[in-house]
């Protein structure tokens, strides 16, 4: 049975057996440590906190966290902490990476470092996948890229598509339905989003995208997720009105989509960065407690 | 109507059409042209205006044993003047079909394409469509573009599909299956034509273009061979029974049709499309049978439709 709610995701990860180890980079602050303790309370992961040991102990003490439940690894600075966390992942000491109080660009730089980073190959594409639970849609929406790649080209879109499909499959959807989004469902050669969507959907038809997904595009958002619009517009195909995954043509559309859902429609989400050797969590302080928990759960689900 | 499946069937069908169409032949004074046209005149398909030197035309007719009275002779001082006159006749509705005689092809097509005085409306694309008959295939294959566009871009390829489909409709195939051909069925940025193919097939899938079932890229096996298709396991609505083949380049299509003529026992009827009226361009090396088929095809395409 596919997972249809993010709380179900927590239950599935709990029942997975051996817990995955999460390594958090520069995890000195209460936001990061709080999220990790919440995840540990839910039996999702074991954790290593890389950072300033004094600060970590102080934060735990102030918040009433039992410091013996985590492993602390000392690092003198945010950059060093990110490097150390990445090195530990490379040494097989953890299966999930998480960002602490280090800035996103320093965190990403440690992941992307050609020699000591986490990229499996020089051509690998690092991209962000978001899983959204929104009240008026009957299932989860797996979408990207809302945060990392500004304007993906065809090759990057193919990589994003693969990550979306892999995530949807891990959520129990055997043949994920992927909508490649554009402003219209017609192929308008002047709009690159339409052109790439047509190309990707044909690649899907030809079996060039692995994972057995059903890919259709271009589809506008209404015909991707709303059956009534599909009927009115007379769109055919298995994806229209019933998408599991949405591939956005650019970061602006993706970003507006997820923020509209969370800020105006009461949606919840979990998110991960894909393309590195392990799932990487890119939570920000602005994320809700639930989002952080769901992101860690998603990381535990996707970790090998 | 029942679908026309052979070139003989095309001729039979044209025999049922009422009235001869007016054919203007530019510099039609060589034995090849006169031979082909005289047969179409005798069949009642066309009423021919041969534009050129009257004495030369009459002399050629005598040598070929053709009665010059079959034709209306129109004076054309030289090949350029003859071409201009033929195109003018078509523009001013004095002719329904234009045909190239003993004129250099590029000069002839130049006049046909002339923006102000030619036959190509703005936005249209001049292409060549062939209906090819081969013993190994159960029906005619409409092939484009075997003669004009070297490497079609998206806009040109869309037009090629549209014209070939319009021709197939005239042959009584209401929803022809169109294969956009490539070397393989996979979509790859390394082969830009495959990207265009993906877009065009999606346009037909979405219904923004209609009148045909279009898929591509497909290789020739997927397009025309059910066995090959089954072995490859490719799913395509063309189902290995294409009516129309759209090629990615002139080299590929030209070699394909010449290979069929030379080694495959093929016969063809071909026509310029995109123009306001059918334009016949035949190569001297074509068989007299193919030349007659070309004129039969032109007669069919000159038929007014209800639309």
| CATH number of the domain that residue A182 is part of | 3.40.718.10
* Pair B239, B177: CB distance under 8 Å: yes
Tell me, yes or no, whether A130 and A112 share the same domain. no
Tell me, yes or no, whether A103 and A53 share the same domain. yes
Domain-located, residue A282: no
Average pLDDT, chain A: 96
Domain-located, residue A185: yes
Of B95, B36, B131, nearest to B278 by C-alpha is: B95
Tell me, yes or no, whether A143 and A250 share the same domain. yes
Chain A residues contacting B via beta carbons under 8 Å:
154-155, 185-187, 189, 195, 198-199, 201-203, 205-206, 208, 218, 234-237
Q: Is the pTM here over 0.90, yes or no?
A: no
* Pair A192, A250: CB distance under 8 Å: no
Average pLDDT, chain B: 95
Interval A148-187: pLDDT, tens: 999 999 999 999 999 999 999 999 999 999 999 999 999 9
Domain-located, residue A63: yes
Interval B257-278: pLDDT, tens: 999 999 999 999 999 999 999 9
Q: Closest approach of chain B CAs to the CA of A196, in angstroms?
A: 9
Name chain B contacts of A195, Cβ cutoff 8 Å: 195, 199
Banded pLDDT at B307 (limits 50, 70, 90): very low
Q: Is the pLDDT of residue B198 over 70?
A: yes
Tell me, yes or no, whether A96 and A132 share the same domain. no
pLDDT (0 to 100) of residue B141: 98
Domain-located, residue A270: yes
Q: Closest approach of chain A CAs to the CA of B214, in angstroms?
A: 12
What does the block give as tokens for B244?
Answer: 């129309």
Alpha-helix runs per DSSP H in A64-134: 78-90, 104-112
Beta-carbon contacts of A165 under 8 Å, excluding residues fewer than 6 positions away, are A176, A178, A209, A210, A211, A213, A245
Interstrand relation of B97-100 and B279-280 (parallel, antiparallel or unpaired): parallel
Q: What is the count of structural domains for chain A?
A: 2
What does the block give as tokens for B4?
Answer: 């026309």
Interval A240-275: pLDDT, tens: 999 999 999 999 999 999 999 999 999 999 999 999
Tell me, yes or no, whether A140 and A109 share the same domain. no
- Closest in A154, A198, A208 to B202, CB measured: A198
Predicted ipTM? 0.83
- Closest in B155, B187, B208 to A206, CB measured: B187
Q: Which residue has the tokens 């203007």?
A: B24
Tell me, yes or no, whether A140 and A269 share the same domain. yes
From CA A167, how far away is CA A129, in angstroms rounded? Answer: 8
pLDDT (0 to 100) of residue B287: 80
Domain-located, residue A198: yes
Radius of gyration of chain A (CA): 19
Chain B residues contacting A via beta carbons under 8 Å:
154-155, 185-187, 189, 195, 197-203, 205-208, 234-235
Tell me, yes or no, whether A112 and A29 share the same domain. yes
CA distances to A235, B130, B136, B152 from B146, in Å: 35, 7, 20, 11
Tell me, yes or no, whether A73 and A156 share the same domain. no
Q: Is the pLDDT of residue B151 over 70?
A: yes
Name chain B contacts of A218, Cβ cutoff 8 Å: 202
Q: Is the pLDDT of residue B288 over 90?
A: no
Kindly determine whether residue B187 and residue A235, on different chains, have CB atoms separated by under 8 Å: no
Name chain B contacts of A202, Cβ cutoff 8 Å: 187, 197-198, 201-202
Banded pLDDT at B236 (limits 50, 70, 90): very high
* Range of the structural domain that residue A247 is part of: 125-275
Domain-located, residue A283: no
- Closest in B198, B207, B234 to A198, CB measured: B198
Q: Find the mean pLDDT for residues B165-188.
A: 97
Tell me, yes or no, whether A45 and A5 share the same domain. yes
Banded pLDDT at B305 (limits 50, 70, 90): low
Domains with residue ranges and CATH for chain B:
18-122+275-302 (3.40.50.10950), 127-263 (3.40.718.10)
Tell me, yes or no, whether A77 and A95 share the same domain. yes
Selected residue of A188, A198, A216 to mutate for chain B interface (largest B Cβ count, 10 A): A198
Q: Find the mean pLDDT for residues A83-95.
A: 98
From CA A264, how far away is CA A266, in angstroms rounded? Answer: 6
Domain-located, residue A151: yes
Tell me, yes or no, whether A79 and A132 share the same domain. no
Domain-located, residue A292: no
Instruction: For residue A67, give the CATH number of its domain.
Output: 3.40.50.10950
Banded pLDDT at A284 (limits 50, 70, 90): confident
From CA B201, how far away is CA B205, in angstroms rounded? Answer: 6
- Closest in A155, A202, A236 to B198, CB measured: A202
Tell me, yes or no, whether A41 and A17 share the same domain. yes
Of A285, A276, A304, nearest to A124 by C-alpha is: A276
pLDDT (0 to 100) of residue B162: 97
């Amino acid at each position: 049975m596919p997972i249809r709610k993010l709380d179900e995701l927590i239950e599935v990860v709990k029942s997975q057996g051996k817990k995955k180890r999460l390594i958090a980079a520069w995890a000195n602050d209460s936001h990061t440590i709080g999220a990790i303790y919440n995840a540990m309370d839910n039996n999702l992961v074991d954790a290593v906190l890389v950072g300033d040991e004094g600060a970590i102990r102080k934060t735990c003490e102030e918040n009433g966290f039992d410091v013996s439940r985590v492993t602390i690894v000392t690092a003198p600075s945010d950059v060093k902490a990110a490097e150390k966390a990445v090195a530990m992942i490379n040494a097989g000491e953890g299966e999930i990476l998480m960002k602490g109080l280090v800035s996103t660009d320093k965190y990403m730089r440690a992941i992307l470092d050609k020699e000591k980073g986490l990229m499996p190959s020089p051509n690998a594409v690092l991209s962000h996948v978001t899983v959204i639970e929104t009240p008026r849609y009957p299932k989860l929406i797996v979408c990207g890229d809302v945060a990392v790649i500004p304007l993906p080209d065809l090759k990057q879109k193919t990589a994003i598509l693969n990550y979306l499909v892999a995530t949807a499959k891990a959520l129990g959807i055997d043949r994920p339905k992927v909508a490649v989004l554009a402003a219209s469902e017609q192929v308008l050669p002047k709009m690159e989003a339409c052109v790439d969507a047509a190309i990707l959907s044909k690649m899907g038809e030809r079996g060039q995208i692995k994972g057995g997904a059903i890919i259709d595009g271009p589809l506008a958002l209404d015909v991707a997720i709303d059956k009534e619009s599909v009927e009115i517009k007379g769109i055919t195909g298995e994806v229209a009105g019933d998408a599991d995954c949405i591939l956005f043509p650019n970061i602006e559309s993706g970003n507006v989509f997820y923020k509209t859902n969370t800020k105006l429609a009461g949606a919840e989400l979990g998110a991960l960065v894909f393309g590195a050797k392990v799932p990487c969590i890119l939570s920000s302080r602005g994320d809700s407690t639930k989002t952080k928990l769901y992101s860690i759960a998603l990381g535990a689900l996707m970790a090998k | 109507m029942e679908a026309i499946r052979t070139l003989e069937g095309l001729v039979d069908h044209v025999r049922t059409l009422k009235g001869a169409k007016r054919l203007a032949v530019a510099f039609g004074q060589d034995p090849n042209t006169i031979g082909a046209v005289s047969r179409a005149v005798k069949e009642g398909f066309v009423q021919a205006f041969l534009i050129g030197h009257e004495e030369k035309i009459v002399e050629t007719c005598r040598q070929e044993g053709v009665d010059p009275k079959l034709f209306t002779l129109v004076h054309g001082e030289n090949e350029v003047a003859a071409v201009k006159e033929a195109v003018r006749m078509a523009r001013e509705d004095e002719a329904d079909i234009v045909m190239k005689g003993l004129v250099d092809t590029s000069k002839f097509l130049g006049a046909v394409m002339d923006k102000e005085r030619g036959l190509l409306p703005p936005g249209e694309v001049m292409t060549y469509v062939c209906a090819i008959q081969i013993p190994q295939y159960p029906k005619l294959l409409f092939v484009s573009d075997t003669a004009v566009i070297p490497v079609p871009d998206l806009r040109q390829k869309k037009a090629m599909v549209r014209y070939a489909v319009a021709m197939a409709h005239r042959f009584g195939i209401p929803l022809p299956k169109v294969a956009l051909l490539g070397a393989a069925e996979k979509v790859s940025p390394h082969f830009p034509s495959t990207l265009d193919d993906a877009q065009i097939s999606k346009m037909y899938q979405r219904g923004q273009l209609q009148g045909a079932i279009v898929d591509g890229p497909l290789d020739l096996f997927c397009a025309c061979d059910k066995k090959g298709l089954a072995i490859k396991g490719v799913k395509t609505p063309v189902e290995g029974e294409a009516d129309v083949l759209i090629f990615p380049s002139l080299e590929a299509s030209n070699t394909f049709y010449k290979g069929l003529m030379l080694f495959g026992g093929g016969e063809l009827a071909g026509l310029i499309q995109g123009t306001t009226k059918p334009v016949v361009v035949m190569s001297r090396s074509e068989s007299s049978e193919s030349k007659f088929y070309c004129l039969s095809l032109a007669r069919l395409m000159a038929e007014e439709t209800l639309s």
